[in-house]
Structure 1
């Protein structure tokens, strides 16, 4: 199999040349939506979702038959700074739980009719402590991007990506701070449940990491402040963009990873919707910067693709109504 890219420059070029939504299918879906047996706009955002989905799939009357959830796991060297309430060993233990079917994401994927794949990325070799310099070399971030790119299954028609990695809320906060400015305190939250002292440590670590890694281009922010699982999520989201597969974004960490793509290419997330807004306070502001209105607000902050997976059924319901409902003509109902 030919490798899709081998450098960040090649990956950046793929992002820039990715296809747009199918305008003809989008227009035909809009026309169909106007003929369905309901008052105009009465299904609210479900109508917008269905037309958006139809445009990306190139089908005015689509169906969702093969949703895929992918969880990527990685370990972070910055945990040496005391930013998490849990040790890094928990990442390995949770990966085993995913593989044995015992985690929340297993249940949510099953309920949504989605396949679930889990990829652990070099857990025995944490990224470097980004307060001392870049978290990853170019070779390391490219390898992680490729893992995500190649993890998107043939035939997938809706994608959700998520993560597991002790310390990755600190990484996400550093990315958001680097991309959007403000103060470090604006972007840090309690993550796994750190106390006030831990929160202060996270803010210091984010501040130091952003100061040490000065490049603000999206992929360099990902390389210098991200982790392997964040890069893998970005790679999978980018592959979905190239393949015109709609994506449901998960929480704060997923959205921060996605934000690095948007910083590189303004249209890179046009195929994405925000599945939910999490209880991690900074997530709302990341979504605001991305121009994404969440589908759900359930006070969740678990990660592991849980909020995105929960939203799969919202998108499926939107598409089912759009494609399954009769038009006024088909139903013999007067349109008024």
Structure 2
């Protein structure tokens, strides 16, 4: 708990002076003001995060949190639970979707076993297991409050280890069969939405069985009665260990003034947890893509985050976040490589 408290206490505001200077420079680059749209917004936000007029995001990493879920036993997914272990191992081998896209983006992939139901002895996987999967949230709390805090602190620790290695931008990813179910519960509780509004098909769950899945989410919320104003309580009662880990990464990024790129639905659920714990965290988050998963649009709207990519993606793993790394770095190239009207000798 001490690490979590210390991290929260370090989260401040964006550097308004740096943002004003960055906006002045961007507005005076040799182009019509505003003509590069979101790229301009991104570099101004990066200046506010880092306090630098010429921020860099060339040392990239996607941290992939992996964990299992007890609610699997409620029949809310079509894939076997063993897929979590298999795909976590494949992360270390560099052969998953996020690994392929990360190679193109020149980003490291750091898989973390924070709660897979079996032990994984694989080179390249960081073992920080809080427990062997969550308990079934449809019958009681997914985890204890202490375990929820521990999952947050694992995320903080892993993120800070990467920052100490020189990483200047973080992306969040996850692996956990049926984790759209706790994510829907989190969005429903914190956002105040009906579970039937925000529960989607996840990994190709049959549409005709969606009512059952949403019913499980509804029952979990009713049984556990999480406090929507207490992010730790929501995480403990209807969340997931990998969701807590990603929320911890976000808190650590904000505390260390390092931008964090969030992925799709599961990452947005983690962002809801992080921003409920400390609302200023939101300023340090950069949304990536509009996940096709049903509840993502509700979560993004509630957070006030506007995705930059519309690719009809819903894989997770951090794939959308890694794609967005390219555009975020492009924004810094715009800022660093373009000249101003004055430098071009053009009076304005």
* C-alpha contact 2:14 2:48 (8 A) present in aligned 1: yes
2:67·2:84 contact (CA, 8 Å) conserved in 1?
Answer: yes
Q: 2:323 aligns with which of 279, 285, 310?
A: 310
Work out the CA distance in 1 between the residues paired with 2:272 and 2:68: 20
Query: Pairwise mapping of residues 154-193 of structure 1 onto structure 2 (< 5 A)?
Result: 154=164, 155-193=166-204
- In 2, are the aligned partners of 1:84 and 1:198 still within 8 Å (CA)? no
1:242 counterpart residue number: 255
Task: State the SS of the aligned residue for 1:270.
Answer: helix
SS of the equivalent of 1:34 reads helix
Query: What SS does the corresponding residue of 2:115 show, helix, strand or coil?
Result: coil
Can you give the 5+ residue segments of structure 1 that lack an aligned partner in the other structure?
none
1:328 aligned residue: 341
Moved over 3 A (4+): none
Asked whether the equivalents of residues 183 and 266 of structure 2 are also in contact (C-alpha less than 8 Å), the reply is yes
The normalised TM-score by structure 1 is 0.94
Mapping of 1:262-273 within 5 angstroms?
262-273=275-286
Supply the RMSD in Å over aligned alpha carbons: 1.4
Query: What corresponds to 1:132 in structure 2?
Result: 139
Question: Which residue number in structure 2 is paired with residue 276 of structure 1?
Answer: 289
1:213 aligns with 2:220: no
Q: CA deviation at 1:162?
A: 0.8
**What SS does the aligned partner of 2:250 have?**
helix
Q: TM-score w.r.t. structure 2 length? A: 0.91
Give SS of 1:192's match.
Answer: coil
Q: Is the 8 A contact 1:18 1:241 kept in 2?
A: yes
CA contact (8 A) 1:82 1:198 kept: no
CA deviation map 1:120-175 (0-9, x unaligned): 12312121101121111122112211221111112221111110001100010011
For the residues of structure 1 that align with 2:9 and 2:187, how far apart are their CA atoms?
22
Residue matched to 1:118 = 111
Structure 2 distance, partners of 1:196, 1:101, is 32
CA distance in 2, matches of 1:271, 1:52: 8
Aligned length in residues: 328
Task: Give, in whole Å, the separation in 1 of the partners of 2:196 and 2:6.
Answer: 34
> What does the per-residue CA deviation read over 1:265-318, in whole Å, with 9 as the maximum and x for residues that have no partner?
322211112101111021011100000010101000000000011001111111
Secondary structure (helix, strand or coil) at the match of 2:339 reads coil
State which of 271, 296, 308 in structure 2 corresponds to 1:258: 271
**Is 1:63–1:323's contact at 8 Å kept on the other side of the alignment?**
no
